[in-house]
Amino acid sequence: MLARISRTLLLFLLTFAFLAAPFAPTQSQAATTASAHALIRQPVRAEHGMVASAERIASQVGIDVLKRGGNAVDAAIATAFALAVTYPSAGNLGGGGFMMIRLRDGRTTAIDYREMAPSAATRNIFQDEKGNLIQGEGSSLIGYRAAGVPGTVAGMELAFKKYGSGKLSWAELIEPARKLAAEGFPIYGYLARNLVKKKDQFAPYEDSRKIFLNDGKFYQEGEVLRQPELAATLRRLQKNGAREFYEGETARLIAADMKQHNGLITMEDLRGYVAKERVPVRTTYRGYEVITMPPSSSGGVILIEMLNILEGYNLHEMGWSSADRYHLMAEAMRRAYADRAEYLGDADFANVPVAGLIDKNYAARQRSTINMTHASTSAEVRAGHPVGAESSETTHFSIVDAEGNAVANTYTLNESFGSKVVAKGTGFLLNDEMDDFAAKPGTPNYYGLIQGERNAVAPHKRPLSAMTPTFVLRKDGTLWFAIGSPGGSTIINTVLQVITNIIDYEMNIQQAIDAPRIHHQWMPDELAYEPYGLSTDTLHLLEARGHKVYVRPNAGWTTGEGYMGNAQGIMLEEKTGTRLGASDPRGDGAAIGY
Ligand code: GLY
């Protein structure tokens, strides 16, 4: 309740701040308008460790692991398993994601545990005989066929074996989640409302109906949700290790239910799943190193392309709330998302010109096509020519431990509650990540994203993601902050705006996360903003330049209707090293430190 009141208060204050903001800032006014958008909220401060996640109980689970001597990776594993219980719309065993790890000695790595397409998933599997996209059961969005082979358990195991502290066992890291599933937790308001909202989609699936709709009786806020089948699955994982999920009883339960319902995932698919360690992609933005997620996410590459384009402008001088800044942000987004549509896909399958897309000279060429006084149209902005070319519900958490090791992890079921299918007897939801493929190249997916041939469906391929777990370093090479967000196609732009809010406008991490966001994704050719997020005067200035501006309607996948993302960040304070945690007011999460 308190969280809801404080969110409402914050939105009111943001609105007030906008109404009070100067109309069209001139260049000389710019510096003073840099932080005129919002009141300052201070992040949570802690001396040793910090966990910022989208759900308070899961953040506390992570902190408890840190207090017991576990490192950031141990805490990440325990938090991820806990979210699978307490945040079932996106926390998961049946989905996948990406974990960025930065060790205190500076080594940084990226774990790709994105889902893989089953062997039976071929290019046109989601099209009918006329070439139209299948709707409902059998589509890429709902039901058994929508699920890719889940990667979360394998990803956690890889992180545990290679980067865990060794002080806590695999079973100990799963235990808090198992206990929460067995003993239950009080359903919070957002979850109760969200479950009712999805009632028609859960209804056809027996176990989903039983667990998440209380067999049609629904749950009230505050009622305890117990998940005994999930507790039993977690118990098997504790006892038998991660391979249980891919070869044991859990695998058998998934494969049997799939077979009975015309699904695609087989025992062989589960046995063949591999999580992979990848080399992160990097750039510098105004001298600060940015280290982020490579393919099979598009997030890091597209984030870097946008940062490189924006680096050529003095955003600080323009002022945070100026039409010039919004214009440039939108033009950078438009160009980078056009490249996403053309060039990005699973680099294990398609030729993705990563080096060309993140090249500063390429960004300079992209910049040269931007006109300060006129918006481009997306129809005229096609993908550029880089060298070498050929959740909405997701959830992010950031963790920093006492030693300075850090994790930025984003994982997902894709849409809220994924495919809505609980594989019979397992207690967990399966993803609908197959929709992140181009089910029909050139046709928009759930997020309205146009995607190309490089992201066409193929057996064992990973669908393209936008998830963008990211680290930014100080100029001396030490960790400055970890950041990431859910939000489907808006994820990359959320991370972009938090980073530029901090670097260009010197906002603290909480303020940078709180600030209203905009979004452009090339197609559709629209510049979206959050409710109350843009003054009418600025909106008119942008329209005069040719932007098609619109306020986001209910997006349906965050707590706040129409708001973008649910970022979770941790910054290290200069000199003191104090951990500064910030959870997005758009959700019900919490940064907890010790
Ligand atoms: N399912 C959303 C993403 O991975 O981008």
pLDDT digits (tens, 9 = 90+) for 467-526: 999 999 999 999 999 999 999 999 999 999 999 999 999 999 999 999 999 999 999 999
Q: What value does the mean pLDDT of the chain take?
A: 91
**Per-residue pLDDT tens digits for 371-416:** 999 999 999 998 787 876 545 579 999 999 999 999 999 999 999 9
Nearest to residue 83, comparing CAs of 594, 590, 478?
A: 590
Mutational test site, ligand 1, from 98, 112, 346, 436, max ligand atoms within 8 Å of CB = 436
CA of 153 to the centre of ligand 1 (A): 18
Nearest to residue 480, comparing CAs of 281, 285, 278, 279?
A: 285
Mean pLDDT of 209-225: 96
Mean pLDDT of 71-91: 98
- Report percent pLDDT > 70 for the chain: 91
**Per-residue pLDDT tens digits for 328-367:** 999 999 999 999 999 999 999 999 999 999 999 999 999 9
Regarding the beta carbon of 395 and ligand 1, being less than 6 Å apart is answered no
Cβ–Cβ under 8 Å, residues 490 and 580: no
Regarding the beta carbon of 394 and ligand 1, being less than 6 Å apart is answered yes
Active-site residue flag, 394:
yes
Give the C-alpha distances (Å, rounded to integers) separating 447 from 398, 419, 443, 444. Answer: 25, 15, 11, 7
Q: Which region among 188-197, 276-285, 440-449 has the lowest average model confidence (pLDDT)? A: 440-449
pLDDT band of 38, cuts 50, 70, 90: low
Rounded to an integer, what distance in angstroms lies between the CA atom of residue 50 and that of residue 60? Answer: 10
Look at residue 255 and tell me whether its pLDDT is greater than 80: yes
Q: Can you tell me which residue has the tokens 């003993």?
A: 183
Q: Which two tokens stand for residue 337?
A: 């998302």
Q: Which region among 63-77, 181-195, 280-294, 298-312 has the lowest average model confidence (pLDDT)? A: 181-195
Give the C-alpha distances (Å, rounded to integers) separating 63 from 51, 336, 394. Answer: 6, 37, 21
**Per-residue pLDDT tens digits for 40-63:** 899 999 999 999 999 999 999 999
Q: Which two tokens stand for residue 490?
A: 């808006």
- Provide the angle, in degrees to the nearest 10, between the axes of the packed helices 536-544 and 323-343: 60
Q: Which of 86, 233, 283, 394 is catalytic?
A: 394
**Per-residue pLDDT tens digits for 538-580:** 999 999 999 999 987 655 444 456 889 999 999 999 999 999 9
What is the DSSP secondary structure assignment for residue 476, as one 8-state letter?
A: T
- CB contact burial 129-145 (16+ within 10 A = b; e otherwise): eeeebbeebbbbbbbbb
Q: Which region among 174-183, 208-217, 376-385, 571-580 has the lowest average model confidence (pLDDT)? A: 376-385
Cβ–Cβ under 8 Å, residues 147 and 262: no
- Report percent pLDDT > 90 for the chain: 84
Mean pLDDT of 141-152: 97
Regarding the beta carbon of 568 and ligand 1, being less than 6 Å apart is answered no
Domains (range + CATH), the chain? 44-184+226-281+394-593 (3.60.20.40), 282-369 (1.10.246.130)
The amino acid at residue 123 is R
